[in-house]
Structure 1
Amino acid sequence: MTARRNGLGPVVLFATACWLVDVWTASPTGKLPRDLALAVADEAPADDGGFFTKVFAAAAQGCTAALVAAILSAMCEPLVNRLLVKRMTVAQAYSEVNFSLVSNFFLTTFPTNMLKFPVFEVINRAMMYTSLSSGVSGLISGWLFCTIMLPVTNYRFRKSMGWEIKASLLYQAYIPTVARDIIYGWARGLAGPFIQDAIAPTTFTHKAMVFGLTIWASCIISSPCNEWRGYTLQPPDKKLPFNIYFKPINYARSTGIGSTIMGIALMIGMLVTPYAEEAFAYMKEHTAVAMAIVAVLIILIVTFSK
């Protein structure tokens, strides 16, 4: 109870998740059970083709990551958004999230990820061709990405909440969202190298943990603007007064739990992606097996949705 009240709960949860993942993937050599590596476009050689070649390759490699992220987002975003906007407790938010909601929301997260990932790669690649510092390039990336993709972000948000979709609201909360993404991009550009140098991970598992920790820290740093965005997105008929919405306990719960969920989800996504790539490669060679698996998944989703 004390850990939850003083804000240490999310930190303990994150540390526990990292420890469990480390134990799960442990081997005598300290590496993953098999020789797996995540295809990260940032690590491509500088002379490996031109700008558009790299963007296309990164987007193609990111398809699997987009699918993994879509699955994790379908499970996490409905919970996190309820904590942020409705100011629910974890139990209240969890009670509203069911399999039907998650499976239906996945039909939104996957196609929107397939839009967002290539746009991010274009912006990210463009920044790599400049001489700007990591902090400045992160700031510009955050502004560009938010401005271009805000309609997709708001569409996805309203779907996760079960609210009506209106074209006039697709650019809702532009200023707080831009401010959040700029600060997040700047924080991630600075926190990433700092945490990387401080911890100096040597295995893929530890790199994933550092990545998750970087996401967590960036979410914490940009959280005031995220809270501002949540306050702006409240329905007019159910809008909480300023002094109630911004209570310290509400802020601590929304930011602490939301940041922890995002950090753990993306860490798991990085760990799972190589396995997913191997699975997709196998299914590509065995079409009958792939079709059978897809058919079973469709039947399960339809059955549980009912």
Structure 2
Amino acid sequence: MRELKIIQPDDWHCHLRDGAYLSRTVPDSAAIFKRVIVMPNLTTPITHPSAAKKYRERILNAVPEGNDFEPLMTLYLTDETTPHVIAEAKASGIIHGAKLYPQGVTTHSEAGVTKLEKIYPTLEAMSEHHIPLLIHGEVNDPAVDIFDREKYFIDKILTQLVKNFPSLKIVFEHITTKDAVLFVEESSKNVAATITPHHLYYQRNAMFMGGIRPHYYCLPVLKRQEHQLALIAAATSGNPKFFIGTDSAPHAVTRKESSCGCAGIYNSPTALALYAEIFATQNKLHKLEGFTSLYGADFYGLAHNQKTITLREISKNVPETLSFGDETIIPLKAGQSVKWDII
């Protein structure tokens, strides 16, 4: 029975939602992670530091007593986000990034940026104030196949963005293709990427095994096996440009199992176990700590956590369902078992 002691991990991409849902998501994340980068795409997006401060307070109110969980807040970029707002964000001391959602590309992205050139002054201000740009790297163009939208974004938008703002720190979030891996590897030290457990653990066939399986539907969508293998190689490589970001994105069962189901996978309770399993299968457990606990903090310019956790290779059953406010949610690996657990 193997055990692995590592510095307590952080999650550099997580959706905690709001309201009654925080009683589910916050304790689940806080049970594993010390810090999380909190996504700002609520029903009413978090577009100003004052809104981020209030949201942060609601999150902290849901943290279990005695837990030192720390939410790291972000802003939602729109066409109207000004350099002055970025200056306020820096002065607030609680904003650790600003999120670019191309309009209409994913859940609650309707207020997102319509054309990148509209926020060039804002991006310049972010560069000056050392606030990272966090990118959902897809286009929302019905003429582009959904499985090609990440590569299209790289070729048509991201390549030029990196050239125009060479000193801007960029996190290419939840990458899903070998094209994204290559782009990050070949870019400057200011470009990094997060990788989710579900994009490492599954490829697109998982959505169609024996029928439509909506709880494997996420955006960016799962890709072919060749892309999955490229992600695994990147995550386990020890390259500090690649680090953990679960993109845990909960939706109630009724919103997933519908005629137009929502994109998102709730993986907070199982994410670390799945990462450990992937690294173990590659004989790279010795590199798990860097991926989960060091590289993200280094990129964001934050200190490493002081506490440690111990993982043990032991089977643990995952519940079929979990409460989610007054509703129900199905976690990743529901009704199955994971091979690692925190002791």
Q: Taking structure 2 as the reference length, what is the TM-score of the superposition?
A: 0.26
Higher strand share: 2
If you compute each CA radius of gyration, which structure gives the higher value, 1 or 2?
1
Q: Which has the higher helix share?
A: 1
Q: For CA contacts below 8 A with separation 6 or more, give which structure has more relative contact order.
A: 1
